[in-house]
Structures are given as structure tokens and as C-alpha cells.
Structure 1
Amino acid sequence: MNSLIDIKTFMKDKTILISGATGFIGKVLVEKLLRDCSDLKCIYILLRSKTNESSDINSRFTEYKENMIFDFVKKEKPHVMEKLFAIRGDLMEKGLGMNTVDYQLLCERVNIVYHCAASVRFNDPLKCAIQLNSLGTKQMLDLAEQAKDLKAFVHVSTAFSNVQERLIKEAIYEPLFDYKSVIQACLDNDDTFLEKAEQKILKLLPNTYVYSKNVGEKLVDEVKDHLPVVIVRPSVVCPSFRDPYPGWVDSINGPASVLIGASTGLLRCVHGKGNLIPDLLPVDYASNATIAASVQRAEEKQKFQVINLTTSSEIPINWNEFLEIGRGLYEKYPSKRAFWYPGGRMYRSYWMFVLAFTVIQFIPAVILDFMLALIRQPRWLVRTQKKIWNNMKFFDYFLQHQWKWENKNLLDLYNRMSLQDRYTFNFDAKKIDYTTYIGNWIFGYRKFILKQSDESLPLAKRKYKMLYYIDFASKLLLIGLLDFLLRKLPIWEMFGLSNF
């Protein structure tokens, strides 16, 4: 049996480099290392700059450290914040856009690399997706190859990098389209080839994002024999389970965007199969497993692994159950910005979804925008509904298909941790209670995204009740109107059913 790993002991005096530190996982990763691995030597984070001026990086870094995610560390361990440094770096530029001094400094000092940077835009042109998610990974690997004392390189990919498979194993899959030709075309700026390649890829895959992440994994696989690399594949990254705060979130994405849209009444219908099981991963679970994977990789110098960071095999919950739990919690944590009584459902039929979207979302938006115009107020509802429609198109594929992931390597990793580390760096899916967890989501969105304080809850609850009665009255009015029309208009005569 493999010996236990000791995360805190291993991290002592280590120098760490993190790309994508401003992203969702990246912020949580930085905070967790500072909070619970405070004996580390230092952390370097790569920050992009719009100019070559150092003042621009300093300004961005100051703003970064002011994020409320670091409030606990600044209060309890203020000296640890002095171990965090920023270096100008851009994965889209040659040599990561670094000056020679900074590049050499990292090569001399870095022991662990967490490569989290990625573009998660599903509508990126192929060239942009490859440049950041694939060639950006190659540039990070090039730096790692020159590091004099590298212990581990963790590539944060995605559980959806191989959606062409229905059972996704913890293994490397060959890209469906010749990735070497695509990479060379990017380097040569051969846009004609890339446009044709993109058309072929999009016939096989839902977007360029999953293809570029698949290619990134392949590039990591190519150096596994001489670099201590490991690939982690988080699934749908969601608000935190516990750290830094229950329900912590800094952006609206994925299933959480459905919850917040439904909680405000702006989203009332979604096209998807409600019986499908999504794979939802708290962001702190993703961060904790990533840290643990780096320690295990460093201690097992000859063992390359792919680790699927997934939860659905341990705690399956389908979309209908997910939405039902959310509906039951809106009354507990209502939004004072609610536009209509929260509700909504998933529609399996595309045309039923289109009809529902038109009748209960778009037409009311047109009417209310017209009313806003009459009282000379800004119109925003139609614009919002168009944005919702466009965004839902990008997620449609993922709401229509089901995947299963093997996660034996993840479970083995957890079992190798000490009892103390299992608590501090928890990623045990069996400990998630979805009613409590989704409640924390909704609370987190009120607090961290909508910036609504606890003091606003009584007002929000009164508004929630008022919207309930308005919604109920509107439905009665609609039923009465339909009944009137059916009685008064010669509809039955048109079909020869006058005696019906």
C-alpha cells in the first residue's frame, strides 16, 4: 500500500507558480495555499498587462489582493500575504511575454506549477482557443522544462475534454482532428486552413473549447517521460462547499446561472433533459484535489496520472431534482432584485421550449419594455432575454447528453491523505448535502454577486410574497381570457364543431 501524503509538510519552503490566478479556481487555489500551507516560501502569479509598464501590473496586483476572498488570511495571517508576488505574463505572447530576468528567476526558483489559465468561452474561433488553451500550455511546459528543481506540474484541464466518449476514463484520448496541423497553422497564421479545420471540428464536437483542451492534454502527455506532470479534470465548477466561505462565487456561469436567472424570474424555461445527471464540483473541492495531486505527483516521480475530478458517481442528482431543490429555497434566500415570482422548468422538446420561451419570457419582455418606454425609463428586458437566448445555445449540447466518468485515481488520492488533510483539503463528494449546498449557492449569489446584505432579506421576502400573488392573479386572468376567447370567437365553427 502507498504511504500517506502530508500536504502541509511537503509544501514547506516550496516556491509555486500559478497561471490563471485571477480565474475562479485560481483565486481559491491561491487563497487555500496562503491559508493552510503558510509555511511555503512564496507564490508567483502571472498577470496580464495592457501595457509594458510595471505600474499597470502593480495596480492590477493591488486590486487582486483587495478581493474579499483574502479577508480571512489578511485578518488571521497578515504576514503570509507578503509571500504573494505578481509577474507580468501572457500565454498569448512568445516566451509568456516575460522579460529575461523574470523568466530566469522562475526557472531558478519554482518547485510547483499550477497551470489553471484557460479561455472558457465556447464561441471562441479555433485560432484563439488553440493559442490560449493549447499553445499556452506548451509555453508553460517549456518554462517547466527549464526549471532546475521542479517537483510537480499540474495541468488543470476539464472533464469535458473528450465529450465524444460516453464513458470517460482517466486516460489520454487522441484528438479527433490532426492537432499538429492545427498547431502549425496557428503558428503560420494560416487562417484559411484554420477556418476549414474549424468547420470540420464543429461537425464532430460542440465547440472549439473542448477540442483545444483535448489538444492541451495531448501536449502534456508528450512530456510525461521527462517532466513530473499530472492532469486534473474538474467537471462543472460551482460555488464553494466550505472554503473560503460557504457559497463563495465570483462569476455567473453554468448551473448557477440557471439558479440565479430563475430566482429573479428572468429565466423560466430551459431546453434540456431533466432526467440527466450533471456533474457538479464545488470550487474548493477542485482546488483541494489539485493541491493534493501535486503532492502525490512529486512523491511518485515515475507515475503520470490523469485524475477526473468528478462527483456524479458518488452523489447523483438529476436536473429536475436540482431545480426542485432550488425552487424550495428561493423563499429562504429571495433576491430583492426579483423581477417576477421564481419558477420555471426544463423542456425536452425543442419546439415546446421555443413556444414557452416566446410566450412566458419574450412576449412579456416586449410588453414591459413598451410600458417602460411610455414612462421614459430605460428599456432592458428584451435585450436581457436576447442575451439569455444566445447564452443558452452554448450550453444546449451539454443539457442533451449524458456522460459517466471513471474517478478511481481521485478516490485513491483521497485515501492516501491523512485524516487531518482529509478535513483541511476535503474533496469527499459523499459529504455534500445538496439541499444545504444549493442553499449556500443562492445565499452566495445574493452576497457575493448581487451584493445584497442580510439586512435586505426581510424586504426581499415581502417582495417575494407580493410577486407570488401577482403571478397567481396573472395566471387566473390568463385562464379567464382564454375561456372568454374560446366562448366568444367562432373557433369551433371553423372546424365544424359548433355542437361541441
Structure 2
Amino acid sequence: MKTMLDSMDAARIIGYFKGKNILITGSTGFLGKILVEKILRVQPDVNKMYLLVRGIDAPSAKQRVQQEVIGTELLGLLREKHGNGFQRFIEEKVVALAGDIKYDNLGLEVSRLEELAKEIDIIVNIAATTNFYERYDVSLDVNVMGVKHLCQFAKQCAKLKMLMHVSTAYVSGDREGMLLEKPIMPGESLREGAFLDVDAELRLVRNVKKELNATNDAHKTELNASDSLEAHQTERKAMKELGLQRARHFGWSNTYVFTKAMGEVLLGQLRGDIPVVIMRPSIITSVRADPLPGWMQGTRTIDTLIIGYAKQNLSCFLADLDLVMDVIPGDMVVNAMMAAMVAHSEERGTQVVYHSTSSLRNPATYNVLYESGRRHFTENPRVGKNGEVIPTSEMYFFNTIARFHLYMILTYKLPLEILHLVNLLLCGIFSRLYNDLNRKYKFVMHLVDVYGPFAFFKGCFDDMNLERLRLTMTMKTQEDQMFNFDPKTIDWDDYFYRIHIPGVLKYLCK
């Protein structure tokens, strides 16, 4: 990375995207939509934005972009700005491509790929499967092989100035202390003595699937439709368990962060002299400033707590309220991405890692979120189906797993077992009550299993590289504020209370 970055302001960032051809993967996701909207709004003279989306053909890809990107509330400001000419503007600027990064040539015709290779100036890879417990084969296809296929395409692009790859700060694993903005080296893993070989992992998945298919083929003559479904479910379960097992073998807590780490390794190995920026956000939260404060899509880690609390499904959880939860609003991540693209454009051979995080500059504890939530629901109580006010109850937090499990057994599991027996003796009279309580119990246990590691995360993400980029930013005009990505400017209590929690309730709790 250069020791001195050139000074940056809104005019320079906006000017950079003029006339550019940009390929974006993952445009139908939360971050992808924010980026597409922002570039179209601030730089109407962008040449073309090619959005690679899964679809059987061009019309289905176009329809998907229209429904999932263009037609969303997020583009309201842009719609107002262009009025009746909005759709025509979109037709001129946005091109939907039916493809998939998990395939060679991105799932595109060779002739189409060759045309694109002559035009593309910038590639932004946001596509990922973010399910913590995704099938291992699916995660490897998207989060690892997808990176390989994009690198292969990038090397064919004659005018390519930048490859922006969005990863996650949690590729650092569950380690404590300061976590640096540095690339992951080939073979590196989080467990001492374990050598991570990406090719060996790909071979392992192929072999396991071959064995599973061989077992199914041996019984093929006996298979009927329900057996076939069972075989599919067996493979799905085996692949999910394999992903988790391999992740934990190498020191990562789940399949998502493990495969994202492997994707970064592959990018480092295959990039050649392509200018690469890796952006690692922490937990991404709702839009803070523009274009639509509070807007969000998809339930994030902390939002599950808000939803559970709002619906009164959640009376207790596993968390140390004094610990820092590293969160960052989605629009700030996009602002950082755009500034970084400009800063490192055409720097041949460069690979820079940025943490778009808050734990070092402006840490927010779980307690700030909880108190903001309690204040919000006290002042804006929920109303039941019959119009009655639902009182806001306290939530209990356990700061050790042992205490939590003991509480759950004594308070829920034992009474549930007793209720189950009584229900059987009384011919199912309490079936509805039992099923309801059992569902709530399983919901809480699932949440703890999935999000428990985050509740006790004690790492702190260093963001010295991003701070260096921030220091080049001049914030003299209102326009410059449009590209703010400084977490120090966030009042967390105000943000959660006034923007994020109302956003969760509006967009996720429909």
C-alpha cells in the first residue's frame, strides 16, 4: 500500500465513476443494492452497470433485477430525481446478465464474456452465501470457486482498473485482542499445526458426495419418490455437518466465515498484477443516512434479538452486555468501498485489506442496543391483535453458557417434558400449548447455537488502513458528507433508538 494517499473529496469520487463500465455480483443483496443505488444517484453519467444475477435467461435476469433491485423502496430518491424518465434512465444504464459466479465463464456465453472483457473497468464482487451453516459444497462453490472464476475473467479485461472484493471481518475467527488488516496467507489456519489446503477441501467434498451417491445408486432399484427425497435430505445434512466440522477443525466457528477466508486466500494466489481491494465489514446494520435511513434487508445477527424481543418470543439470551458488538451501517460500508476503489485504481500488483468496523474507533456494547430497545418499546409499546397494549418485559442475559443451559433445562425443558406426558395421558388436550412452548424453546436454542460465538467475541478489529484513507477525506461541504465512513461520527444510542430499531420493525417484521 502507498504510504501517502492522494486527498479525496466527493467531487473526486463522483468524477471517478463517470463513463465507467462496472460489473457487480451480488446486486440483489443488501450491500449490493445500496452500492447500485448510490452510484446511479451520484453519477448519472456512469456508462453501464452490469448486474450478474442467477436466471435461466436474459428476460428472467432482467425481471429479477427489476423486482429485487430497481423496484425497491431504496431507489425512491432516484425515482423522484428522474421522475417520468426514471425507467428510461435505468434501461440505458443497467444491464442484467443471466449467469452465476460458481460456473466457469461466470455462466455466460463465451462471445458475451469476450465482449464484456473489452468493456469492464471495475469488478465488484459482493456475491456470497452468508448462511452460517450452509452446505459445504454450496459454500465452496460460491465463496471460493466464485472468486476463482472472477479472477480468471478479470485477467481477460483489457481496461480493468480495480477488483473490489467484499469479505467479512470475521475471517479473523474468534481470536481475542487486536485483529489486523492483513491478507490471509496460503496454508494459514487459525488452529496451530493445521495446514489449510483449499484444493484438498474441494477434493474432500467431491469424494464425500461420490460416496453418498454410490450408496444411493446401490439402492436405486428400490428407490421411490419419498426415498429419493430422503436421499437428498441425507446428502444435505451430511454436507452441512461436513462444513461445520471442517471449519472447526481449522479454527473457524462456522462454514460461512471459513469459506470466505478460503476465498481471500485464493484471490491472493490468483490475482496476478490486478489492483485488488478486500473490504471486510463487521456486522452490517441498516442505512444510517442516505438514501433511506433505517432501510434494510435480511436479518443480521443483532436483529434476531430485536425481532425476538418485539414478538415476545425471547425472554432470555446468552450475552455479556459489557462486551463490544462490532457493527457498521450499510451505507458507511458502501462509502468506504467507493473511496477505496478511487484511491487504489490502476495500482498494478496492489492488494489492500480494509476493515470497515467500529470496535476500535467507536465501540458499542450490547448494553447500548438493549437499553435503546427497551426505551423504544416502552415509548412505543406493541399492540396485540385485539388492540390491547403488550407490556414490555425485561430480558434476562446469561454471561456463561453453563448458566444459560442450566436455566433452560430447569425453566423450559423439564416443564416441557412433564407437559408432554400429561398431554399424552389426556389424549392431546394440551397439544397446541405444548407445540407453541416447544417451538419457542427450539427457537431460543437455535439462536444460541448460531449466534453464541458472537455474544462472547472479544476481538477488536484494527482499522489503521481505513483510518489512513479516512484522513485523506475532506469534509468541507454537504456533498462530502455523502461519503462519510467514519464510525466516530455515530451516536450509537441515537442510531439504534431512532433509526435501526424502527427500521428492523418496518422492513423485517412486516
TM-score, length of structure 1 as denominator length:
0.81
Quick one: distance in 2 between partners of 1:385 and 1:89?
Answer: 41
Quick one: distance in 1 between partners of 2:20 and 2:369?
Answer: 41
Looking at both structures, which has the greater relative contact order when contacts are Cα pairs under 8 Å and sequence separation is at least 6? 2
Residue aligning to 2:200: 182
Residue aligned with 1:222, SS: helix
Residue aligning to 1:220: 267
Contact 1:262 1:343 in 2 (8 A): no
Q: Does the C-alpha gap of structure 1 residues 427 and 76 become closer, same or farther in structure 2, counting only changes over 3 Å?
A: same
Q: Does 1:400 align with 2:474?
A: no
Residue aligning to 1:173: 184
Written as runs of structure 1 = structure 2, the 5 A alignment for 1:74-473 is 74-77=79-82, 78=86, 80-82=89-91, 83-163=93-173, 165-166=175-176, 167-174=178-185, 175-176=188-189, 177-185=195-203, 188-189=206-207, 191=209, 199-203=245-249, 204-298=251-345, 300-336=347-383, 341-357=392-408, 382-419=438-475, 420=477, 422-439=480-497, 440-451=499-510
Q: CA deviation at 1:382?
A: 3.5
Contact 1:28 1:284 in 2 (8 A): yes
What letter matches 2:401 in structure 1? Answer: Y
Q: Does the C-alpha gap of structure 1 residues 43 and 187 become closer, same or farther in structure 2, counting only changes over 3 Å?
A: farther
Contact 1:74 1:81 in 2 (8 A): no
Residue aligned with 2:484, SS: coil
Contact 1:269 1:357 in 2 (8 A): no
Contact 1:314 1:429 in 2 (8 A): yes
Query: What RMSD over aligned residues (CA atoms) do the two structures have, in Å?
Result: 3.0
Residue aligning to 1:67: 72
Q: CA deviation at 1:186?
A: 6.2
Quick one: distance in 2 between partners of 1:447 and 1:361?
Answer: 31
Q: CA deviation at 1:53?
A: 3.7
Residue aligned with 1:21, SS: coil
Q: Does 1:3 align with 2:61?
A: no
Quick one: distance in 1 between partners of 2:36 and 2:338?
Answer: 10
Q: Does the C-alpha gap of structure 1 residues 58 and 379 become closer, same or farther in structure 2, counting only changes over 3 Å?
A: farther
Contact 2:416 2:434 in 1 (8 A): no
Contact 2:252 2:258 in 1 (8 A): yes
1:282-324 CA distances to partner (integer Å, 9 max, x unpaired)? 0111111111111111054453210011111111122223212
Q: CA deviation at 1:192?
A: 7.8
Contact 1:260 1:442 in 2 (8 A): no
1:170-227 CA distances to partner (integer Å, 9 max, x unpaired)? 1112332422333541685554899878635413221122221111111121245411
Contact 1:108 1:147 in 2 (8 A): yes
What letter matches 1:73 in structure 2? Answer: L
| Identical positions, percent | 27
Q: Does the C-alpha gap of structure 1 residues 184 and 391 become closer, same or farther in structure 2, counting only changes over 3 Å?
A: same
Contact 1:267 1:361 in 2 (8 A): no
Contact 1:127 1:186 in 2 (8 A): no
Q: CA deviation at 1:57?
A: 2.0
Residue aligning to 1:466: none
Quick one: distance in 2 between partners of 1:400 and 1:201?
Answer: 18
Residue aligning to 1:56: 60
Greater Cα shift, 184-193 or 77-86: 184-193
Q: CA deviation at 1:336?
A: 3.7
What letter matches 1:147 in structure 2? Answer: C
Greater Cα shift, 341-350 or 209-218: 341-350
1:224-257 CA distances to partner (integer Å, 9 max, x unpaired)? 5411111010001111111221111122221122
Q: CA deviation at 1:54?
A: 3.5
Residue aligned with 2:298, SS: coil
1:346-390 CA distances to partner (integer Å, 9 max, x unpaired)? 2013243234446777799998xx9x9879899656435423421
Q: Does the C-alpha gap of structure 1 residues 315 and 333 become closer, same or farther in structure 2, counting only changes over 3 Å?
A: farther
Q: Does the C-alpha gap of structure 1 residues 365 and 340 become closer, same or farther in structure 2, counting only changes over 3 Å?
A: farther
Quick one: distance in 1 between partners of 2:494 and 2:411?
Answer: 30
* Structure 2 residues without counterparts, runs of 5 or longer: 190-194, 212-238
Contact 1:365 1:385 in 2 (8 A): no
Quick one: distance in 1 between partners of 2:170 and 2:406?
Answer: 30
Residue aligned with 2:292, SS: coil
1:125-161 CA distances to partner (integer Å, 9 max, x unpaired)? 3332222111111111111111111110001000000
What letter matches 1:180 in structure 2? Answer: V
Residue aligning to 1:482: none
Contact 2:103 2:149 in 1 (8 A): no
Q: Does the C-alpha gap of structure 1 residues 296 and 363 become closer, same or farther in structure 2, counting only changes over 3 Å?
A: farther
What letter matches 1:450 in structure 2? Answer: C
Residue aligned with 2:379, SS: coil
Quick one: distance in 2 between partners of 1:305 and 1:155?
Answer: 10
TM-score, length of structure 2 as denominator length:
0.80
Quick one: distance in 1 between partners of 2:326 and 2:32?
Answer: 20
What letter matches 2:143 in structure 1? Answer: N
Quick one: distance in 2 between partners of 1:103 and 1:149?
Answer: 14
Quick one: distance in 1 between partners of 2:295 and 2:470?
Answer: 23
Quick one: distance in 1 between partners of 2:337 and 2:392?
Answer: 40
- Quick one: which of 18, 24, 35 aligns to 2:24? 18
Greater Cα shift, 38-47 or 417-426: 417-426
Quick one: distance in 1 between partners of 2:432 and 2:316?
Answer: 30
What letter matches 2:404 in structure 1? Answer: F
Matched length: 447
* Structure 1 residues without counterparts, runs of 5 or longer: 452-500
Q: CA deviation at 1:416?
A: 1.8
Greater Cα shift, 273-282 or 97-106: 97-106
